[in-house]
Structure 1
Amino acid sequence: MSGSRGTGRSRAAEGAENFPVALRVLPRELRVALRAVYDVVRVIDDLGDEPGPVARSGTETNTGDTAGRRVARLNAFATDLGLVWAGGLPDAAVLRALVPVVRERGLTQDPFDRLIAANLADQRVERYETFADLLGYCALSAVPIGRLVLQLFGVDAPAGSPVEQRADAVCTALQLLEHWQDVAEDRARGRVYLPADDLRVFGVAEADLDAPRATPALARLVRYETDRALELLGTGAAVVADLHGWARIAVAGYVAGGRAAGDALLRVRGDVLGGLASTRRRDVLRHLVVALASARSAPARFSQASTVRSTP
């Protein structure tokens, strides 16, 4: 349920993200469906980020790369993606694997289109002036993931419903926490997701992001942004109690992964340049237990908050 950031690279990348928390405990048919979606998300992300060809993406380029070439690759993949719903046969292997999942689970095209739009935005927007601007980007890069997860589990979450709003908050918070963990990596790609007005308020220059260790001001800013993301995660975490069966377990896993990412950022005291803010599995498990226990003890808020096709 984390945001967009395929296949060969995605398997290696899974170990560092909270997505596989759900994969390891779900029944096989749900794991297969989630992997099919995850692989497409990773290919979209790679097409927007990587300097060379992406394995099995169906869109190869020369190793010399420019934003223009990445835009061309993303647009080509978007055309191929449309065939999944148009009844054609996509070229990309990951899209061919997605076809049966779309048919069986009723997935819509819009969330995937939004993810492509987020990566297209990355080719022309490298800075965000305000936190509100960044949240607008997360609406493209993160929110679609949660909506796909809800669709995969057959959750009844009409547009604008409390369930959808809480899931959106969780996904946005996860994306923000990922950005704060990846400040150095994003800077190396020429991108700064820390809002410019926050940089100014905390007295942080962009050049400070190139240092081997965070300045005290940068560390304070990262802690501030971490607290803000965790607060947003807390507002959305109530969605776990809205869900049932495997959907509850999976989304609780995502919430737990986000809280553990926050733990990692606070453990390095905001120094995301000099210390690796890596999420610890034991922290994820600890938060998972708490999330599920809280959901079980929460009073029912809706008579029909969600329905799921598979239950444990």
Structure 2
Amino acid sequence: MLRDKYLSQESDENFPVALRLLPGRIRTDLHAVYAVARTIDDLGDRATGDRVAALTEFRADLREIWRSGSPRHAVLRQLVPTVRARAISPKPFEDLIEANLQDQRVHSYATYDDLIDYCRLSADPIGRLVLAVFGVDDPAVEALSDRVCRALQLVEHWRDVGEDRAAGRIYLPREDLARFGVVEADLDRPAATAPLRALMRFETERATDLMISGAPIVGRLRGWARVAVAGYVAGGFAAARALLRTDGDVLAQDPAVHRRDVLREMAKLLRPRLRTHGERA
């Protein structure tokens, strides 16, 4: 089955969307959402041929979920029961597709604010979908989720600087490259220069601060939603720590995230004293 392909990839993600301890129905719905999100990303990043056409065709088929209930694509057919059971809007999926369409025409960002605008399309929808699966409809919680998801997206970009450069994309804002004296050719080196290391430390710390500002979401949730979202946030903190361990040399070193680090961060987040604020031990 197509979905099995994407579930097998899930163990490679730093921020698993379906913790094994979650109830089966929730896991099934998160898996269905995840598989569609991965499909969209694969169409935008790995598809051969005309990626814009592929994304546009997939978007038309996605809309059939709400129009006829009978999309053609297997991964979308598996999403139909989840959409019906959780009353999920098409907007988060449409935004993910738009983010990937933007990737086809925009290959760098002038400012940090421009990059955050992109994250509103590429990152925010994931959190909104997770909250929808748990039946959470609270603007304040959604705003915190957006911060967490943007931070997760930034951390992912900073882990993949070399890979993105090879694909023709630079997510490091041009204003930051100039500020730290980094030129694009520095991203092609086998190891990071001193200015690039300083820039990566700065970007990692800024992403961590954004994660901290969204971490109070854990205290606003209850039950399985709280456990699942704590896992996302913990994964983000662990990934940021892994980046810092490279001392900014993301070209020569692999900022590997270890399960024990995620569990340690998760335990901190779930401590009772952290339920109402984002302070970390």
TM-score, length-scaled by structure 2: 0.95
Q: Secondary structure at the match of 1:20?
A: coil
Kindly indicate whether the alpha-carbon contact (under 8 Å) linking 1:22 and 1:254 is maintained by their aligned counterparts in 2: no
Pick from 103, 120, 124: which aligns with 2:84?
Answer: 103
| Secondary structure, aligned partner of 1:123 | helix
214, 223, 230: which is aligned to 1:245? Answer: 223
The whole-number CA distance in structure 1 between the counterparts of 2:24 and 2:111 is: 42
Residue 276 of structure 1 pairs with residue 254 of structure 2: yes
Q: Which residue of 2 aligns with 1:124?
A: 105
Tell me, yes or no, if structure 1 residue 147 matches structure 2 residue 128.
yes
- CA–CA distance in structure 1, aligned partners of residues 108 and 240 of structure 2: 23
Contact between 2:216 and 2:275, CA under 8 Å: does it hold in 1? no
The structure with the greater share of residues assigned to helix is 2
How far the C-alpha of 1:13 sits from its partner, in A, is: 3.3
Give how far 1:9 is off: 5.0
Unaligned stretches of 5+ residues in structure 2? none
Can you list the C-alpha shifts for 1:51-72, whole angstroms capped at 9, x where unaligned? 43xxxxxxxxxxxx3xxx1000
Q: Higher relative contact order at CA 8 Å, sep ≥6: structure 1 or structure 2?
A: 1
User: 1:77 maps to what in 2?
Assistant: 58
One-letter identity of the residue aligned with 1:19 = F
Q: How much is the aligned-residue C-alpha RMSD, in angstroms? A: 1.5
Query: What is the aligned residue count?
Result: 276
Task: Specify which of 19, 35, 48 is matched with residue 44 of structure 2.
Answer: 48
Residue in structure 2 matched with residue 30 of structure 1 by the alignment: 26
**Mapped partners of 1:33, 1:21: distance in 2:** 10
The percent of aligned pairs where both chains have the same amino acid is: 55
TM-score (norm 1): 0.85
- Deviation, structure 1 residue 7: 4.0
Cα distance in 2 for partners of 1:299, 1:46 equals 36
Alignment partner, residue 137 of structure 1: 118
Aligned-partner Cα distance in 2 for 1:199–1:242: 37
Q: How does 1:155-170 map to 2 (within 5 A)?
A: 155-157=136-138, 161-170=139-148
The secondary structure found in structure 2 opposite 1:217 is helix
> What SS does the corresponding residue of 2:79 show, helix, strand or coil?
helix
Distance in 2 separating the partners of 1:81 and 1:299: 37
Q: Tell me, which stretches of 5 or more residues in structure 1 are unaligned?
A: 1-5, 53-64, 302-312
Q: Is the 8 A contact 1:48 1:120 kept in 2?
A: yes
The letter of the residue matching 1:288 is M
Distance 1:300 1:225 in 2: 27
Structure 1 equivalent of residue 273 of structure 2: 297
Query: Post-superposition shift, 1:79?
Result: 0.3
User: Shift of the alpha carbon at 1:279?
Assistant: 1.1
**Counterparts of residues 223-242 of structure 1 (less than 5 Å):** 223-242=201-220
Flag the 1:256–1:299 CA change in 2: closer, same or farther, 3 A: closer
Distance 2:12 2:36 in 1: 18
Aligned partners of 1:16 and 1:279 also within 8 Å = no
In 2: Cα distance, 1:144 partner to 1:77 partner: 17
CA contact 1:18–1:253 (8 Å) conserved in 2: no
